[in-house]
């Protein structure tokens, strides 16, 4: 028999036992008044634990205020952004997400938040600024959804993976990872921020995939690890293969070829590649082997959909046949083949590929020009943010707007080919506003962006008149 020396502890013990017995006897009657009418429920014998939890969940859901419907913007933007709806707990954040897509696709000289707010008809940019800087949403979840949509459109087709380095000039030293470094777009060393980006090309259409920020050694923060640009490119390739993308060919510029690790990883993964190299790129040669140049061969290089020009290509061969082969390309006349307008590339593609490789090299040139132009049109470097968490959000929104433009470009491509049928799953992304005679029927990103801006123009005029 237990003896109680402290009367207070005894009374506390009795009170706890009586309270537990009372709660067990009534079950969840206090939470669910409908149970009181049941005598079995009153004594705790009527419902299982699973039934009680389910009833509790239903009652709590009834207490939650219904979520209001998000404000509509433009049909094709609403259809696309609806796939991200579940990622935002606050409907105002989802509206800001749609407004930013609207602004990035619109025609304006600079895609700053105040300019976007004025374009879409908002009184000020505080809502957009809060969304980019402080709102509770996961940028990784947005990226996952974007890549899921990308795989949905690509399907089982193979992609040509393009690795691109993007640098933008930035003033000051407050912004994260901004330092004096080489900016490939400018061709010189400047104070700026650099990222390594990956794009997939499928049947002439570009899909934005992944990007990673380059962190200079002197800008590393606590917990950061230094990675070179080729190492970042390798991480991107491994991640894309892990996600199930089928990579047919990898294209990169000379910076990545200078890294033996990058080429070694591609060979280890048994991936075919074409990389640009410098004229003084070192090559290991066995004792007694020699280098010689084959004869020039002329071919027609397609510059645009309507124009082409004559160029020349020749293989730089060695005494012993190698898996890695080098080629020289020139656009000069035959009398001036050793001029400055020469390019060198290296590949592990098999067989006789002189003219096939010239086609792929045209994509490498487009990497240096086209990708930068697209991102400039969408506002890649127009952010006024200092912390990288916010910059990463901005860049992810630009990639999302890029994907939206790509999806519409896919539609215009099928339109130009007089496609008879299109699956319901894909057609929900598309817009039917294609009756304007000024719409361009083409498969280039410039044509697609012009068409989208033409569709957005009436909405912009309406929002601007409302704002005024």
pLDDT value of residue 68: 77
Q: Are 184 and 254 in contact (CB under 8 A)?
A: no
Summary mean pLDDT of the chain = 76
pLDDT value of residue 173: 83
Task: For residues 48 and 162, state if they share a domain.
Answer: no
Mark which of 371, 405, 439 sits at the end of a domain. Answer: 371
Q: How far is CA 170 from CA 120, 133, 372, 388, 390, in A?
A: 27, 19, 16, 14, 16
Task: For residues 258 and 365, state if they share a domain.
Answer: yes
Task: For residues 316 and 181, state if they share a domain.
Answer: yes
pLDDT interval class at 11 (50, 70, 90): low
Q: How many domains does the chain have?
A: 2
Task: For residues 244 and 366, state if they share a domain.
Answer: yes
Task: For residues 48 and 169, state if they share a domain.
Answer: no
Count other Cβ atoms within 10 Å, centred on residue 68.
8
Q: How far is CA 416 from CA 148, 154, 243, 440, 443, in A?
A: 26, 19, 32, 9, 8
Query: What confidence tens digit (pLDDT) does each residue in 27-82 have?
Result: 433 333 333 333 333 334 456 666 666 666 666 555 555 667 888 888 889 999 99
Residue 346 belongs to some domain of the structure = yes
% of residues, the chain, pLDDT over 70 = 64
Query: What confidence tens digit (pLDDT) does each residue in 162-173 have?
Result: 988 888 888 888
Average pLDDT value for residue range 347-359: 72
Q: In whole angstroms, how large is the CA radius of gyration of the chain?
A: 30
pLDDT interval class at 437 (50, 70, 90): low
Count other Cβ atoms within 10 Å, centred on residue 60.
10
* Domain hosting residue 34, numbered range: 7-63
What tokens were used for 318?
A: 């060695």
More confident residue, 392 or 315: 392
Q: How many residues does the chain have?
A: 468
pLDDT interval class at 245 (50, 70, 90): very high
165 phi/psi in degrees, rounded to 5 = -105, 125
Average pLDDT value for residue range 194-206: 88
User: Per DSSP, what are the bridge partners of residue 181?
Assistant: 190
Average pLDDT value for residue range 363-373: 67
Report d(CA 114, CA 127) in Å as an integer. 10
User: Per DSSP, what are the bridge partners of residue 379?
Assistant: none
The answer, yes or no, to whether residue 235 has pLDDT greater than 70, is yes
Mark which of 44, 63, 82 sits at the end of a domain. Answer: 63
Of 353, 156, 350, 345, the closest CA to residue 251 belongs to 345
> Which of the 8 DSSP states describes residue 191?
E
Beta strands 159-169 and 273-277 are unpaired
Of 447, 466, 446, the closest CA to residue 458 belongs to 466
State the burial class of residue 365 (Cβ atoms within 10 Å of its Cβ: 0-12, 13-18, 19+): middle
More confident residue, 343 or 206: 206
pLDDT value of residue 51: 67
Task: For residues 39 and 163, state if they share a domain.
Answer: no
Of 197, 264, 209, 276, the closest CA to residue 241 belongs to 209
110 phi/psi in degrees, rounded to 5 = -140, 130
Q: Are 135 and 93 in contact (CB under 8 A)?
A: yes
Report d(CA 410, CA 431) in Å as an integer. 12
Cβ-count burial 263-277 (b if 16+ within 10 Å, e if not) = bebbeeeebebbbbb
Residue 129 belongs to some domain of the structure = no
Residue 143 belongs to some domain of the structure = no
Which of 34-43, 279-288, 379-388, 405-414 is the most confident on average? 379-388
Residue 389 belongs to some domain of the structure = no
Of 106, 132, 128, the closest CA to residue 117 belongs to 128
What tokens were used for 398?
A: 């630009």
Task: For residues 356 and 244, state if they share a domain.
Answer: yes
> Which of the 8 DSSP states describes residue 335?
G
Report d(CA 239, CA 327) in Å as an integer. 30
Report d(CA 347, CA 192) in Å as an integer. 32
Report d(CA 161, CA 46) in Å as an integer. 62
pLDDT value of residue 467: 41
Query: What confidence tens digit (pLDDT) does each residue in 107-154 have?
Result: 888 899 999 998 888 888 999 999 999 999 999 999 999 999 999 989
pLDDT value of residue 358: 63
pLDDT value of residue 147: 96
What tokens were used for 192?
A: 């700026």
Q: Are 41 and 24 in contact (CB under 8 A)?
A: no
pLDDT value of residue 327: 82
Average pLDDT value for residue range 213-241: 92
Residue 241 belongs to some domain of the structure = yes
Task: For residues 38 and 173, state if they share a domain.
Answer: no
Task: For residues 197 and 302, state if they share a domain.
Answer: yes
More confident residue, 400 or 287: 400
Report d(CA 272, CA 217) in Å as an integer. 32
Average pLDDT value for residue range 442-453: 71
More confident residue, 461 or 116: 116
The answer, yes or no, to whether residue 282 has pLDDT greater than 60, is no
Task: For residues 58 and 200, state if they share a domain.
Answer: no
Report d(CA 193, CA 177) in Å as an integer. 6
Residue 2 belongs to some domain of the structure = no
Residue 121 belongs to some domain of the structure = no
Residue 228 belongs to some domain of the structure = yes
pLDDT interval class at 397 (50, 70, 90): very high
Query: What confidence tens digit (pLDDT) does each residue in 412-421 have?
Result: 555 555 444 4
The answer, yes or no, to whether residue 431 has pLDDT greater than 50, is no
Mark which of 351, 371, 391 sits at the end of a domain. Answer: 371
pLDDT value of residue 23: 46
Average pLDDT value for residue range 302-319: 71
């Amino acid at each position: 028999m237990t003896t109680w020396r402290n009367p207070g502890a005894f009374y506390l013990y009795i009170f706890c036992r009586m309270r537990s017995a009372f709660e067990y006897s009534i079950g969840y009657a206090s939470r669910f008044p409908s149970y009181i009418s049941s005598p079995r429920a009153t004594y705790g014998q009527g419902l299982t634990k699973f039934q009680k939890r389910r009833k509790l969940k239903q009652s709590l859901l009834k207490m939650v205020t219904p979520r209001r419907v998000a404000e509509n913007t433009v049909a094709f933007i609403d259809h696309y952004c609806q796939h991200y709806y579940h990622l935002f707990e606050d409907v105002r954040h989802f509206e800001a997400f749609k407004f930013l897509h609207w602004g990035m696709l619109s025609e304006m000289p600079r895609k700053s938040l105040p300019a976007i707010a004025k374009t879409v008809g908002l009184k000020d940019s505080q809502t957009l600024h809060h969304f980019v800087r402080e709102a509770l949403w996961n940028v990784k979840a947005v990226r996952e959804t974007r890549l899921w949509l990308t795989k949905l459109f690509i399907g089982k087709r193979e992609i040509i993976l393009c690795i691109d380095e993007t640098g933008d000039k930035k003033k000051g030293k407050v912004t994260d990872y901004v330092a004096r470094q080489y900016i490939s777009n400018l061709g010189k060393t400047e104070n700026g921020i650099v990222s390594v980006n990956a794009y997939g090309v499928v049947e002439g259409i570009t899909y934005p995939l992944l990007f990673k920020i380059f962190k200079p050694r002197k800008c590393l923060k606590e917990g950061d690890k230094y990675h070179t640009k080729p190492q970042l490119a390798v991480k991107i390739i491994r991640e894309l293969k892990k996600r199930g993308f089928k990579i047919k060919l990898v294209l990169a510029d000379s910076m990545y070829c200078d890294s033996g690790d990058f080429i070694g990883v591609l060979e280890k993964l048994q991936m075919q590649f074409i990389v640009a190299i410098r004229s003084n790129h070192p090559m290991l040669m066995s004792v007694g082997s020699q280098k010689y140049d084959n004869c020039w061969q002329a071919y027609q290089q397609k510059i645009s959909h309507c124009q082409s020009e004559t160029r020349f290509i020749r293989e730089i061969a060695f005494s012993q046949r190698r898996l890695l082969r080098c080629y020289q390309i020139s656009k000069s006349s035959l009398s001036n083949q050793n001029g400055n307008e020469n390019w060198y590339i290296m590949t592990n593609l098999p067989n006789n590929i002189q003219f096939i490789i010239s086609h792929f090299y045209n994509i490498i040139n487009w990497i240096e020009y086209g990708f930068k132009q697209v991102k400039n049109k969408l506002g890649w470097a127009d952010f006024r943010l200092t912390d990288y968490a916010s910059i990463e959000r901005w860049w992810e929104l630009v990639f999302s707007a890029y994907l939206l433009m790509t999806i519409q470009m896919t539609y215009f491509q099928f339109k130009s080919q007089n496609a008879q049928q299109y699956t319901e799953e894909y057609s929900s992304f598309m817009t039917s506003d294609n009756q304007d005679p000024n719409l361009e029927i083409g498969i280039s990103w410039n044509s697609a962006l012009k068409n989208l801006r033409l569709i957005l123009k009436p909405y912009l005029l309406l929002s601007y008149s409302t704002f005024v």
